[in-house]
């Protein structure tokens, strides 16, 4: 049965890219609990060429997506894996280094639906560091969330995203978070 409506986000995972190019591979996906929202805005421009008093040719580029991912909290492991935050051996204090280069990663998540939902992977992501909003508590305590801006660019072969469909086999859906799915994989696991 096909979804009639879509709502919600859950099962957010990341998988650090280990090699690029034709031998594309990723580490095993790691869950980030506490998904709040994710906005995915398509990136790209359209260019038109006028001839014969009309738009003779229109080209629309696909430069992937960009948007804000809001989570309850980005765990220390995510910050270590993606941003190169290190933890001092003796005192166990997290240290951010401005010279550390963020790693590319795949972002996996599920958009809830009324029937099956849709599982997504964005293959080539980079992200800003998590924002921190701190405020005093009052009569009611409201959790403070964190946001990152994710830029998902196309891979060298043009792929930027993949998602499940109504016809996606159960073994692919069930194994979605075991490994990053790529076209040349078997049974939905790959990398």
Which single residue is written with the structure tokens 């099956």? Answer: 116
Q: What is the mean pLDDT of the chain?
A: 84
For residues 106 and 142, which has the higher predicted lDDT (pLDDT)? 106
For residues 181 and 42, which has the higher predicted lDDT (pLDDT)? 181
Residue 113 has pLDDT above 70, yes or no: no
Residue 58: per-residue pLDDT: 75
Give the span between the Cα atoms of 153 and 108, in whole angstroms: 15
CA-wise closest residue to 151 among 44, 71, 49: 44
Residue 3 has pLDDT above 60, yes or no: no
Per cent of the chain over pLDDT 70 is 85
Q: In this structure, are residues 82 and 105 in contact, taking their beta carbons and an 8 Å threshold?
A: yes
Residue 16: per-residue pLDDT: 97
Confidence band of 17 (pLDDT split at 50, 70, 90): very high
Give the span between the Cα atoms of 134 and 189, in whole angstroms: 40
* 114: region left, alpha or beta (phi > 0 left; psi from -120 to 50 alpha): alpha
Q: What is the 3-state secondary structure (H, E, C) of 4-46?
A: CCEEEEEEEEEEEEEECHHHCEECCCEECCCEEEECCEECCCE
Confidence band of 189 (pLDDT split at 50, 70, 90): very low
Q: In this structure, are residues 109 and 145 in contact, taking their beta carbons and an 8 Å threshold?
A: no
């Amino acid at each position: 049965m096909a979804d009639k409506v879509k709502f919600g986000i859950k099962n957010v995972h990341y998988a650090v890219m280990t090699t690029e190019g034709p031998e594309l591979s990723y580490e095993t996906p790691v869950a980030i609990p506490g998904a709040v929202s994710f906005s995915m805005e398509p990136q790209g421009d359209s260019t038109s060429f006028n001839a014969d008093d009309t738009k003779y040719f229109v080209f629309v580029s696909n430069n992937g997506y960009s948007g804000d991912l809001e989570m309850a909290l980005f765990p220390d492991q995510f910050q270590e894996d993606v941003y190169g935050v290190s933890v001092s051996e003796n005192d166990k204090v997290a240290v951010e280094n401005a010279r550390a280069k963020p790693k590319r990663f795949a972002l996996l998540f599920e958009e809830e639906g009324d029937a099956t939902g849709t599982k997504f992977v964005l293959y080539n992501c980079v992200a800003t560091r998590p924002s921190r909003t701190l405020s005093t508590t009052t009569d009611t305590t409201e959790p403070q969330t964190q946001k990152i801006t994710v830029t998902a660019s196309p891979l060298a072969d043009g792929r930027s995203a993949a998602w499940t469909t109504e016809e996606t086999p159960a073994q692919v859906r069930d194994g979605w978070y075991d490994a990053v799915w790529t076209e040349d994989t078997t049974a939905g696991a790959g990398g």
